[in-house]
Amino acid sequence: MSSKLLRSAEVLAPELAPYLRGCTQEMLVVPRCNQCGHYQFPPRSLCRVCGHDTFAWTQIAGRGSLYSWTTTHRVSAPEFRPITPYTVVVVSLDLPEELRMVGRLRQTGIVPDLHIGDAMTCSFETLTNGDVLAVWSPR
């Protein structure tokens, strides 16, 4: 199934296209500096540790701990109404260095019982339009 989000990113935000392509293959990938090995997300043109400018997109395990979250109860966009309330989470990834990723909690339509430090795992959700999103759940 094709992804409208991926096709848009390839034109409007090509630096995110490898991440979105990974999602369509149900793989969580982030750029890793070819010089010092630093993981960084979102993608940047230069490594924030050593300043090097080439990266290898690297698959990561998709596990981490809950750093923060917020639940949205009211939306203006009609396409979000069926999943409201929904929760956006910030997850500290299980990597040798600190890296956080923002995503949506998989379970929607509820106010979740979450706690900072909860163990989280990534999975992938295919929307009716073919877009594939990385979503997070407590494990």
Give SS3 for 6: helix
- Neighbouring residues of 76: CB distance < 8 A, sequence distance ≥ 6: none
- Residue 35 touches Zn ion, criterion: CB under 5 A: yes
Quote the least distance from Cβ 51 to Zn ion, whole Å: 7
Per-residue tokens: 3: 């992804």
Q: Where are the beta strands (DSSP E) in the chain?
A: 28-33, 55-60, 63-72, 86-93, 100-105, 119-126, 132-138
Among 25, 42, 46, 52, binds Zn ion (CB under 5 A): 52
Applying CB under 5 A, does 32 fall inside the site for Zn ion?
no
Kindly state the smallest distance separating residue 73's Cβ from Zn ion, in Å.
Answer: 41
Nearer to Zn ion, 37 or 138 (CB): 37
Of the residues 16, 27, 49, 99, which one makes contact with Zn ion according to CB under 5 A: 49
Return the number of the residue (51 or 117) whose C-beta is nearest Zn ion. Answer: 51
CA dist 76 and 73 (Å) reads 10
User: Least Å distance between CB 5 and Zn ion?
Assistant: 28
DSSP 61: -
Any contact of residue 50 with Zn ion (CB under 5 A)?
Answer: yes
CB 29 within 8 A of CB 19: yes
Q: Where are the strands (E) in 34-118, listed by range? A: 55-60, 63-72, 86-93, 100-105
CB of 78 to Zn ion, least distance (A): 43
Q: Name which of 38 and 106 has its Cβ closer to Zn ion.
A: 38
Q: Applying CB under 5 A, which residues contact Zn ion?
A: 33, 35-36, 38, 47, 49-50, 52
